[in-house]
Structure formats: structure tokens, C-alpha cells
A and B are shown apart, each in its own frame.
Chain A
């Protein structure tokens, strides 16, 4: 069968990537052939046991899956409510869940014969994961990163460069994740014939939201099995931070059919409720309104003329004006709840988890911890909660030490417990 017919056949069987009213494909025409080619290649790979086997093998031997499900005993005791269990994605190679997806897409790129990889990154974790995969497979790697994010996640910039990636700063807009995606898409439009775009969150045009979710499903697959083994039942609630929403959709997905499991996404409440001061698309007054940004129809923080708003969060990975379309659907259905945690709450949670459990969370993941700390005392001691610890906090030490005054002398820096 000629390639074109094959592509069309496949794209019919998969639809246009809708999640209820959300999702779809809103891109410049130049990218359409590439998106259709990607969709066909992805569906083909999914049906190929050898592809899945290679991915599983690398996830196990290279990345360290399965990640532990760890009972945070001291934190649970201190909060005096529901048991808190941490899904330790922070222990994965490169320090966050992002490698699950970067590895999957990297294998796909290799399968499609693409030698040049581009990606955007916010906190730098997706950029590091992509640079790692490119090093592993010997592929050329270009990472777009907002200059503001390069400043606040400097260590990850060095890591990417060490791994051989060309990190390109983006100064437009607020010089954060959204602007990095714009620039990556411009690169892709220009080099589409030779380049594979490893998109890092469950965002963008179809098939990305579905594909990225599928590569992160392993989180909830493992967790479900681990809960059965270690606790004897499903958790009562699953809590995860939501920027674009990749770790959250991965942590939620296998639990979606289990109606008695509460699914809770935690957005960045930033420094206040005003438009521009947060990245809480679902929650605040002046929150998001459905619209189209960067290829997909979802909630978008915007003004009443349809200009996309600037956002703020202490964590670069949550600092984004839109959200993955599947979350928009889960929100409207009421299947998942979306709340927010402020910058200060996330910083406090960082300190709390570090000092009760000896685990330093990424500032993104700390938003989920912050909400768990609010929620656990309201739940009975017989209740069980999973918090997806999506990444570790090493990359954030600069911000954390500034915000928590860790550099200001041993007296102030002394442990409280």
C-alpha cells in the first residue's frame, strides 16, 4: 500500500485526537504531513512487540523502573491523617518522570530514521531527558529553553550541554516554557523533513497528548500493582502536580475507571489570584477559558481579546498558560479535581518533605506534596493517598536556598526536628 493511503487509513482509525471537546490538531498546514506520519509510525510501533520490549528493557535496565512505592511514615504521623505513599519517579535516571516519554519518543524517532531531535524544556528535566536519549542513540539534539528558565534552572542547562545538546535560549514573551514551545515549533516547521520533535508534555497537536500519556501510563500501571501488593487495595486518592500535565495523566490513567479513587491535580497558585500571577488554569478567578494554544484546544489563561496571558510560578515546570486537553476533559467531567498550591506552600512542602523523610522534591512535585499536607489531615487514618513524586529537587537548590535562606548561617539553618 502506498505510504499516503496507509497514513490516511491509520488516521481514520484513530480519529483526530479528541478528548471530549478538547484536543484536536490546530497547526500550520506545513506540519500536517509530519503529524500524520508520526501518528502512523506511533500506531505501528505500538502494535510491534519488539518496540515495546526494547522500551521496557531500557526503562528497566537504563532508567531503573519499576520505581518504588514508598510509605512516608514520618510525614504521615506528623499530619495525623491519611497514609501518604510516594511514587518515586524522582529516583528514575535523570531525576524525573520525563525520561519515560523521552525514551519512548526517541525510540520512535530512531525507528522513523530521523537523525535530528528538537525539544522544548521548562524546568530543564525534559531537556535533560531528551539530551540523554540523544546521547544514548547518537542523535543530534537541539533544546529550546526560555532565558528566564535558563537562569533559574542553570544546573540543567549545564547538564544538557555536557550531554552534547545545543541549548538555545528564547527571549520572546515571558521567556519561559510557552515561548520555548513556540520556538521549537518554528524550528520544526522549518526542518520538518529531517527533524523529530520530542514534545515533553501531554500537550500540542494530536497525536502528542495521547502518545505522551501512553509513555507515562507505566506510572499508574506500576502503582496499581504495587498498591495491590503492599496495601492490598487501591489508594483512596492520587495527587499529582499539573503543568502541561504529563506526570499527572500518567499517574491518573489506570485509575480513571476506578470511580472510588479520587484524582487530584495540583496547579501552580503562584503569588496570588490575579491574571499573570499564577498558572492555575482551572482554579482561580480569572482562570483559563477554552481556546487554542500551540496546536490543541484546551483551557488557556488569556485576556478577553484572546491574547495569551503571562504566568508565574516558582517552579518553571508548572509555569504554563494552557494544560493538556485530556485534563480539560477530566475536569469538565468531574472525574478529576484540580486545586492549586501557592509558591510559599510549595516551598514549605519542600522543606517539610526534606526534613521528615530525607527526600528533596522538585519544586513542581512539591506542589503535590503541599496539597497532600492540606488534604491528609482531613482524611481518616485508614485512608490511603498516593502522591506522585515526579522529580527530585537538586535542580532547584539555587531557588530553594534563596527562598528558604539556607545560605544565611548555621543558626537559622539548624534542623527543627
Chain B
């Protein structure tokens, strides 16, 4: 298990795998790790990303258009694992590509690729019986999302079934940048901490070093997604890894 947030700040970096190319994602992931990201969330592009804002939607559409498949993302995960044995890697997907492969086959392949855990955007704890059994069988960490709208009873179940860390959604909404981190996030993390000793990572709308610093006041890590995906979109071809590396270093305040 390589999901730890020993160094501060705890940083999780989300990447849409295959945008702009699988090779580029590999370079970008290593650059992010080398500049302070403890965990990489490797996003599987999907045709219908209904929890995502425009930035990740566009990235997903580009990668799907390029023919990037779950199988390719698993292979990419294996390559990143080989290059950076100590860092954390989470596979981040909508459910359908995983269901298409089959839960047992997917979990076995995820393990073989060296992933530490899996986050399925549209999988809630009530529906997760078979998924959790397969994850356990393969010694993989299921990471569930917790939302500001989740009542305590649900947070308890989410905390109990998560391994590695719990992903707290900072606000009610889809992924994407925002100006400031609202009070929803802190309240949610406090409520979650009643039920678990696992690290809590806060995501959605975190794009600047001051956001990361604010989150670190009450949580264990910050997840940065859309800001990095947008930076990749706006970078000159070939310059993405350098740009992301610099950006991550900046987020970490170094």
C-alpha cells in the first residue's frame, strides 16, 4: 500500500489518461510525482462524464475520440508503477467501462497493473457488495466519495467501506475551478473524522496554492483535477510535463 500523506501538504493529482496522449500522461504523472504529488488519480476517459465540468468533459471527449480504452489505462498504470514504485496510484472511472470488462476481471487487472486503489464515480456504498468483495480479494483500496449533502449515517458507511483515504467533495456540484473553498468542505471533513482515522482528501474546485493551504488546515490532502487538466489543454505540445511539474511544485508551496 503506497497511499500515505507523510509529507505536507498532501497532494493528489487527477489526470485524464490519454489526454493529450498515453505517452504524455505517463510523462506528466512522473513530473507530478517528482514535484510533490503523493497520489495520482488516473482517470479513465468515458463518453458520458456526468459528474464532470466542462474542462474534464473536454479532456475525456478528446481521449475517447483518440480511442483510449480502460485496457490502455491499466497498461499506463503499470508503466507508472514500474517507474515510481513508492507513489500512490488510484484508478478513477465511471462504472460502465468497468462493468463492461467485468468486476472480477477489472479488479484482478487493476491489481496486476500495480494500482493501490479504485474510485468509481457513480458507485455508491449500497450497490457495492460485489465490487467490495472483488476489491478485498485483490487487496485493493476502494475509495468512496463523500458529499456535503450526505447525512451522517451515509458518511459512516462511506468511511467504513473506504480504504486508503476518503474523498470529500468540497462543495455541492460538478468538478471545476472556483475562487475560494467554502465552509461546506470543512464541515464535511469534521463530520467524516468522527467515523474514521483514514486520511481525508478534499477535492473539487482546488486550483491554487492558497486553496491547498486552506484545505490543509482541516484535512490530510487536497485533490487537484480540473486546474491541471486545463493546464495540459493550454500547454504547447511536448511541454505539458514541465508545465504540470512546475504547477504542482507551486501548489506544494515549494
Are A305 and B70 neighbours in the complex by a CB distance under 8 Å? yes
Identify the 10 closest CB pairs spanning chains A and B, nearest first: A306-B100, A306-B97, A305-B69, A30-B147, A190-B173, A33-B149, A29-B145, A28-B51, A292-B95, A307-B47
Are B172 and A30 neighbours in the complex by a CB distance under 8 Å? yes
| Residue B48 at the chain A interface, CB threshold 8 Å | yes
Q: Which of A25, A178, A186, A304 contacts B127 (CB 8 A)?
A: A25
Most buried by A among B61, B96, B147: B96
| Residue B64 at the chain A interface, CB threshold 8 Å | yes
Are B147 and A302 neighbours in the complex by a CB distance under 8 Å? no
| Residue A293 at the chain B interface, CB threshold 8 Å | yes
Given A291-B96, A307-B47, A308-B96, A29:B172 Cβ within 8 A? no
Q: How far is the CA of A292 from the CA of B96 in the complex (A)?
A: 5
Given A28-B51, A193-B172, A302:B96 Cβ within 8 A? yes
The number of chain B residues with a CB under 8 A from chain A is 44
Q: Which of B94, B123, B158, B169 contacts A30 (CB 8 A)?
A: B169
Q: Which of B70, B101, B122, B127 contacts A28 (CB 8 A)?
A: B122
* Binary contact readout B50-70 vs A (1 if CB under 8 angstroms, 0 otherwise): 111100010001001000011
Are B174 and A189 neighbours in the complex by a CB distance under 8 Å? yes
CB distance from B163 to the nearest CB of A (A): 17
B95 to chain A: closest residue by CB: A292
Are A32 and B147 neighbours in the complex by a CB distance under 8 Å? yes
Question: Chain B residues near A31 (CB, 8 Å)?
Answer: 149
Given A8-B153, A27-B122, A185:B47 Cβ within 8 A? no
CB distance from B20 to the nearest CB of A (A): 18
Q: Which of A178, A191, A193 contacts B48 (CB 8 A)?
A: A178
Are A289 and B100 neighbours in the complex by a CB distance under 8 Å? yes
| Residue A26 at the chain B interface, CB threshold 8 Å | yes
Are B70 and A189 neighbours in the complex by a CB distance under 8 Å? no
Near B by CB (< 8 A), chain A positions 1-40 give 4, 8, 16, 24-34
Please report A residues at the B interface, Cβ cutoff 8 Å: 4, 8, 16, 24-34, 172-173, 178, 181-182, 185-186, 189-193, 289-295, 297, 300, 302, 304-308
Near A by CB (< 8 A), chain B positions 96-139 give 96-101, 121-124, 126-127
CB distance from A31 to the nearest CB of B (A): 8
| Residue B71 at the chain A interface, CB threshold 8 Å | yes
Q: How far is the CA of A269 from the CA of B247 in the complex (A)?
A: 50
List 30 A-B pairs, Cβ < 8 Å. Answer: A4-B152, A16-B127, A25-B127, A26-B123, A27-B122, A28-B147, A29-B154, A30-B147, A30-B150, A32-B154, A34-B149, A178-B48, A182-B48, A186-B50, A186-B52, A189-B50, A189-B173, A189-B174, A190-B174, A191-B172, A192-B149, A192-B172, A291-B100, A293-B48, A294-B50, A295-B122, A305-B70, A306-B70, A306-B96, A306-B98
Are B145 and A308 neighbours in the complex by a CB distance under 8 Å? no
Q: How far is the CA of A26 from the CA of B154 in the complex (A)?
A: 15
CB distance from A76 to the nearest CB of B (A): 43
